[in-house]
């Protein structure tokens, strides 16, 4: 018999990375919030790679932290190994990646959620969602409890309509053997939410004791360890190594001989898989000319023997997985603890959403994470944070926070989703941003902490600490512009060794730092007035000096982009009645419903001529 359980401000359905950030943000902004999890052991779970960050994903984590989210500090406190990727390239693409103790990360996040004021963590499966004339959302659980909420955030991950595939075997399931959310999917369809099927996969987990690491290439953590969180205090320790091995022709042949047993190639999987993280059978077929594929053997935690095999996700039958696995150097006697599988799930077309992540057609309903068609923990957490902020602001009667492309990778991610949509699981990459020199991970706090403080997610203590950092950067920049480095034999020897010209007279330090071959560290022994400052202060000063011209050029591009972003388009405009628009533009504009001219200009099929027509229309109003 149904009973009424509780009246809420915000209900968050799902307790993965998107759900956690959404629930914490909403609760911290003063809203009475409940986060529903099918199983409390799934809170903050990492059903795929036990790592946080990576190329462009590290940017997202630092931006989440700069806004007042939780993922960065949680990763720092549960790191097994940390490495900065792409250090051979410019600072725009430097990306932090950390191997994480999976279970400790989950425990940390669950504890944070349990102790958060205004937030209730509840194990319950939501089976029905409706909206009544009273304007409230009504949520019903499997155990027939009814909750009402002013706003609902859907952060269902791969649970919604989840179905596992391993060879000929398939069954309804969420990730890691959890129950799926099947009835909720039908309820959303009944509501009028148009769902589609995506797919993702995960590799096998192996017993560490059965692996021969002596024939693999070890990968150790960085000596200089950089945290994700700008507010992290303490020491990060590299306690574990990762290893690299490769597939070979034997591996390839076994997979090719058994392709007919793959549900992916046998037509049993309807969902669209991730383009940038294909299964091993997909890689073998798509890159037939490659003799081998790189694999990373990574620890799942300090208190477990489970090792994750990055690069070897598969949906082939279990016996085939064992056969090809044992052809790989170091894995000849590997014992599989968890078999690789593919999972198919329901998600929404993100073109149904506004930039605030609220549905266009359903007031007070928000989407976040894999439900929105993205992939990855970091992308999910970023969207969850924005959805939680905006749901809370809606209840508080405030305007939504819209992050633009020029201010953050989070803004780029959301703008891509709601403007361009996605035909396969969306993955963030640095190449997706036109302004990546401005959107570096090292300056995420300078870009976003003022916004986080204004929203109310950055404490006064952290705000004061941030302002002290800005003062130190400004003071050091002025010093470098004025201090003179005198010519000397030792200095010239160093300059020549760096393949740059020697000095005849003294020059200001800023002129030496402008040389691409010279760093702060190179000048340390010659800079007798150098103050004792944290590494990140020197880093910020050096980057701003070296890339001054490029930064000014991108800032000019940003100013032009923002000129178009402020030109709002009416929500009720009928583009079929706008004279001069091409038919394709009319179709796309009516579907996407861009919020401003800038968004309209980024829609595939809308030409510069169409934008000119819209600008003329706005001027006439």
- 3-class state of residue 313 by DSSP: coil
Give the per-residue pLDDT at 273. 66
Q: Do 381 and 413 share a domain, yes or no?
A: yes
Q: Do 516 and 597 share a domain, yes or no?
A: no
Is residue 602, in this structure, part of any structural domain at all?
Answer: yes
Q: How confident is the model at residue 591 (pLDDT cuts 50, 70, 90)?
A: confident
Average pLDDT over residues 348-367: 96
Q: Do 488 and 611 share a domain, yes or no?
A: no
Give the per-residue pLDDT at 385. 98
Residue linked to tokens 């991108």: 554
Q: Do 11 and 126 share a domain, yes or no?
A: yes
Indicate whether 409 pLDDT > 80. Answer: yes
Is residue 467, in this structure, part of any structural domain at all?
Answer: no
Give the per-residue pLDDT at 605. 83
Half-sphere exposure in the Cβ direction for 336 (13 Å, CA): 17
The vertex-319 CA angle with 315 and 321, nearest 5°, equals 45
Say which CATH number the domain at 203 has. Answer: 3.50.50.60
C-alpha 242/C-alpha 374 separation (Å) is: 27
Strand 306-310 relative to strand 294-299: parallel, antiparallel, unpaired? antiparallel
Domain that holds residue 571: 566-619
Q: Do 514 and 406 share a domain, yes or no?
A: no
Q: How confident is the model at residue 407 (pLDDT cuts 50, 70, 90)?
A: very high
Rounded percentage of the chain residues whose pLDDT exceeds 70:
99
Indicate whether 72 pLDDT > 80. Answer: yes
Provide the domain count of the chain. Answer: 3
More confident residue, 321 or 610: 321
Is residue 337, in this structure, part of any structural domain at all?
Answer: yes
Give the per-residue pLDDT at 620. 66
Q: Do 20 and 153 share a domain, yes or no?
A: yes
C-alpha 526/C-alpha 503 separation (Å) is: 13
Average pLDDT over residues 195-208: 95
Phi, psi torsion values for 417, nearest 5 degrees: -65, -50
Q: How confident is the model at residue 618 (pLDDT cuts 50, 70, 90)?
A: confident
C-alpha 262/C-alpha 250 separation (Å) is: 18
Average pLDDT over residues 590-604: 87
CB distance 261 to 167 below 8 Å: yes
Alpha helices in 215-302 (DSSP H): 249-257, 280-286
Is residue 451, in this structure, part of any structural domain at all?
Answer: no
- The tokens describing 331, both together, are 């894995």
The vertex-96 CA angle with 90 and 100, nearest 5°, equals 165
C-alpha 242/C-alpha 617 separation (Å) is: 58
- The tokens describing 446, both together, are 């300078």
Say which CATH number the domain at 598 has. Answer: 1.10.150.570
Q: Do 174 and 38 share a domain, yes or no?
A: yes
Give the per-residue pLDDT at 331. 98
Average pLDDT over residues 431-458: 96
DSSP tag of 525: G
Residue linked to tokens 């383009």: 275
Give the per-residue pLDDT at 31. 98
C-alpha 39/C-alpha 178 separation (Å) is: 7
Indicate whether 271 pLDDT > 80. Answer: no
Q: Do 31 and 118 share a domain, yes or no?
A: yes
C-alpha 263/C-alpha 486 separation (Å) is: 70
Q: Do 317 and 355 share a domain, yes or no?
A: yes
- 460-480 pLDDT, tens digit each: 999 999 999 999 999 999 999
CB distance 44 to 106 below 8 Å: yes
Lowest mean pLDDT among 109-118, 155-164, 284-293, 454-463: 284-293
Q: Do 416 and 526 share a domain, yes or no?
A: no
C-alpha 108/C-alpha 77 separation (Å) is: 9
CB distance 220 to 241 below 8 Å: yes
Average pLDDT over residues 226-239: 94
Domain end residue (candidates: 513, 548, 583): 548
Is residue 26, in this structure, part of any structural domain at all?
Answer: yes
- 3-class state of residue 145 by DSSP: strand
Looking at every residue in the chain, the average pLDDT score rounds to: 93
Q: Do 206 and 127 share a domain, yes or no?
A: yes
- The tokens describing 98, both together, are 């950390």
Say which CATH number the domain at 480 has. Answer: 1.10.10.1800
Is residue 137, in this structure, part of any structural domain at all?
Answer: yes
Is residue 81, in this structure, part of any structural domain at all?
Answer: no
Q: Do 585 and 536 share a domain, yes or no?
A: no
Buried b vs exposed e over 303-315: b needs ≥16 C-beta within 10 Å? ebbbbbbbbbbbb
DSSP tag of 604: T
- 7-29 pLDDT, tens digit each: 999 999 999 999 999 999 999 99
Domain end residue (candidates: 492, 521, 548): 548
Q: How confident is the model at residue 598 (pLDDT cuts 50, 70, 90)?
A: confident
Domain end residue (candidates: 517, 548, 579): 548
Is residue 413, in this structure, part of any structural domain at all?
Answer: yes
Quick one: which of 331, 285, 286 has its CA closest to 308?
A: 331
Phi, psi torsion values for 476, nearest 5 degrees: -70, -35
C-alpha 213/C-alpha 548 separation (Å) is: 46
More confident residue, 91 or 563: 91
pTM score of the predicted model:
0.94
């Amino acid at each position: 018999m149904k009973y009424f359980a509780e009246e809420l401000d915000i209900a968050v359905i799902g307790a993965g990375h998107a759900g956690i950030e959404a629930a914490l943000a909403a609760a911290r902004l003063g809203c009475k919030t409940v986060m529903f999890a099918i199983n409390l052991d799934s809170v903050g779970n990492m059903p795929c790679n036990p790592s946080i960050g990576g190329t462009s994903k590290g940017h997202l984590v630092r931006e989440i932290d700069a806004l007042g989210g939780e993922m960065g500090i949680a990763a720092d406190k549960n790191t097994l190994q940390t490495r900065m990727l792409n250090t051979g390239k410019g600072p725009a693409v430097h990306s932090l990646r950390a191997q994480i103790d999976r279970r400790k990360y989950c425990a940390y996040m669950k504890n944070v959620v349990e102790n958060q004021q205004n937030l209730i963590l509840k194990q319950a499966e939501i089976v029905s969602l409706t909206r009544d004339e009273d304007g409230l959302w009504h949520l019903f659980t499997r155990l027939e409890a009814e909750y009402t909420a002013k706003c609902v955030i859907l952060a269902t991950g791969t649970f919604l309509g989840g179905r596992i595939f391993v060879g000929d075997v398939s069954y309804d399931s969420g990730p890691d053997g959890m129950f799926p959310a099947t009835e909720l999917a039908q309820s959303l369809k009944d509501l009028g939410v148009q769902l589609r099927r995506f797919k993702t996969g995960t590799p096998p987990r192996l017993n560490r004791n059965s692996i021969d690491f002596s024939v693999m290439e070890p990968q150790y953590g960085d000596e200089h360890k950089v945290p994700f969180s700008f507010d992290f205090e303490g020491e990060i320790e590299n306690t574990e190594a990762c290893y690299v091995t490769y597939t070979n022709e034997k591996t390839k042949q076994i997979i090719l001989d058994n392709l007919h047993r793959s549900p992916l190639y046998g037509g049993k999987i309807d969902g669209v898989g991730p383009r940038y993280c294909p299964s091993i059978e997909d890689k073998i077929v798509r890159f037939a000319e490659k003799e081998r594929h790189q694999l990373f053997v990574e620890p799942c935690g300090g208190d477990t023997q489970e090792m994750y095999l990055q690069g070897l996700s598969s949906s082939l039958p279990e016996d085939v997985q064992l056969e090809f696995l044992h052809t790989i150097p170091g894995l000849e006697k590997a014992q599989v603890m968890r078999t690789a599988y593919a999972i198919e799930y329901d998600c929404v077309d993100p073109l149904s959403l506004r930039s605030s992540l609220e549905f266009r057609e359903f007031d007070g309903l928000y989407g976040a994470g894999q439900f929105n068609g993205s992939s990855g923990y970091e992308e999910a957490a970023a969207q969850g944070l924005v959805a939680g902020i905006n749901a809370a602001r809606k209840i508080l009667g405030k305007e939504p926070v819209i992050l633009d492309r020029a201010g953050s990778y989070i803004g780029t991610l959301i703008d891509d989703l709601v403007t361009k949509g996605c035909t396969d699981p969306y993955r963030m990459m640095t190449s997706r941003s036109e302004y990546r020199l401005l959107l570096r991970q090292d300056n995420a706090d300078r870009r976003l902490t003022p916004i986080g403080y204004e929203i109310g997610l950055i404490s006064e203590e952290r705000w004061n600490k941030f302002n002290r950092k800005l003062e130190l950067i400004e003071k050091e920049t002025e010093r470098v512009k004025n201090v003179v480095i005198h010519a000397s034999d030792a200095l010239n020897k160093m300059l020549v060794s760096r393949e740059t010209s020697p000095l005849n007279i003294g020059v200001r330090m800023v002129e030496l730092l402008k040389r691409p071959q010279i760093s702060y560290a190179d000048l340390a022994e010659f800079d007798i007035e150098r103050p004792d400052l944290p590494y990140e202060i020197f880093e910020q000063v050096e980057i701003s000096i070296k890339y001054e011209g490029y930064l000014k050029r991108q800032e000019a591009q940003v100013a032009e982009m923002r000129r178009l972003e402020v030109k709002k388009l009416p929500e009720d405009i009928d583009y079929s009645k706008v004279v001069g628009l091409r038919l394709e533009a009319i179709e796309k504009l009516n579907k996407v419903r861009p919020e401003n001219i800038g968004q309209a200009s980024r829609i595939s099929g809308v030409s510069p001529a169409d934008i000119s027509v819209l600008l003329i229309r706005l001027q006439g109003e």
